[in-house]
Structure 1
Amino acid sequence: MDPLTKLVLSATTLPVLSALGLARCLGQRSEALGKLSEEVFRGDRLPVLPFPVEEEAG
């Protein structure tokens, strides 16, 4: 294998592995945030709002 190829390969291995780890971490955090937002906006924790009643004319 060419020495330049070895150098490029060794120089790019760590950033690629770091990017993969970061992507996995961000994916897990996004999923956790999505589940948290579902809990916040779940119907049983929201206040009951009065339903507007339209008055009939005539």
Structure 2
Amino acid sequence: MLNLKISSELLLGLATAPLLVGLLAGKALAELMQDLGQASEEVFRGDRLPVLDFSTTADKSDVDVTEV
């Protein structure tokens, strides 16, 4: 039976690269999901809302003002 002793520095060095890649992938995935959420909000922004007509000039005959 072989008795191999691997130093902790070597194990730490070997584990650092996958950890950093995982962190970067997680950050990229989070940004992608946030961008996807914002894009879906843009698609459905005015889908179910009625179009309101705000005219810039209001006729004074349409406005009923009574002074008491």
What percentage of residue pairs aligned between the two structures are identical? 36
- Whole-Å separation in 2 of the counterparts to 1:18 and 1:39: 32
Residues 1:10 and 2:13 aligned together: yes
- Whole-Å separation in 2 of the counterparts to 1:24 and 1:4: 31
Once the two structures are superposed, residues 34-53 of structure 1 have per-residue CA deviations (whole angstroms, 9 ceiling, x without a partner) of 0000001112xx378xxxxx
> Which TM-score applies when normalising by structure 1?
0.67
CA RMSD of aligned residues (A): 1.7
Structure 1 residue ranges, 4+ long, deviating more than 2 angstroms after superposition:
none
Q: Which runs of 5+ in 2 are unaligned?
A: 1-5, 50-68
Relative to its length, the structure with more helix (as a share) is: 1
Task: Figure out how many residues of one structure are paired with residues of the other and give that number.
Answer: 44
> Which TM-score applies when normalising by structure 2?
0.58
Larger Rg: 2
Amino acid at match of 2:39: L
